[in-house]
Amino acid sequence: MSTDSTQSSTTSPPIGATSPASGFATSGAIFINPYASVSVKAHVPITLELKNPNFTRWSAYFHDMCRKFGLLRHLDGPSPIASQPVDPAWEEADCCVRSWIYGSVAEAVLDMTMDGITKTGDSTIDDYCHRVKTTADKLRDVDQPVSESTLVFNLLRGLNKEFSNTADNIAANNLSFSYARDQLLLKELRLANEIKVAAATALVAGSTPSCGTSGCRSSSSSSGGQQQQ
């Protein structure tokens, strides 16, 4: 089979599906992103390992693979931050690139990679920041240091939506990881205080009788009767 026909079979969308940029399938068809059917082993013939560091070779293969399919921006380019609307086409292609990573690394590296895709969830900001920093430290240990800006970006994109305004402020001011962490901790404290105030206000409102109730009328009548005597 010729190279052209092989490339066509791996990059062309299946029948009944649209191009990956559209994010929509034709009527009555299930959309399957064409990148999902690409075999990473056919393009990246080595496995990234920790015992025998081979990141430089693996990275060259992987970057070339992403360049072949026009997906290099998912490695080197900007992607939407947590506060921006999710682009379905971007998410589909990004998931495919992550799947290629999972399929071309050893289990020890895979654990580290999975840790990198971290979300705040129910964690405290302190715990969440610790997980993000720990993942970066692991990457540094295998001679793949994470820049300060990349570290902050990964911190912001995993935040819950209630931190979106703070994330925007951190991104706009190009803050360091340490300063970003402090800002998020302050926001967490403010949110916790707002919840406490709201709960206390609701409790007071619920325990204070309204003057329109029978209790208030009875109390007023009793008071008026005593004054007449």
pLDDT above 50 (res 31): yes
φ and ψ at 14, to 5 degrees?
A: -65, 160
CA distances from 133 to 125, 154, 166 (A): 12, 10, 19
C-alpha–C-alpha distance, residues 151 and 133, integer Å:
8
Other C-beta atoms closer than 10 Å to the C-beta of 171 total: 18
- Of the given ranges (14-28, 94-108, 123-137, 161-175), which has the lowest mean pLDDT? 14-28
Q: In the structure encoding, which two tokens stand for residue 188, read together?
A: 């967490």
Contact 59, 146 (CB under 8 A): no
Mean pLDDT taken over the chain: 75
Token reading at 113: 């990679």
CA nearest neighbour of 92 among 158, 5, 23, 177: 23
The CA distance from 228 to 205, in Å, is 33
Per-residue pLDDT of 211-229, as tens digits, reads 555 555 554 455 554 544 4
pLDDT in tens, 49-85: 877 778 889 989 999 999 999 998 888 765 555 455 6
Domain residue ranges in the chain: 1-117, 118-202
Mean pLDDT, residues 169-176 taken together: 91
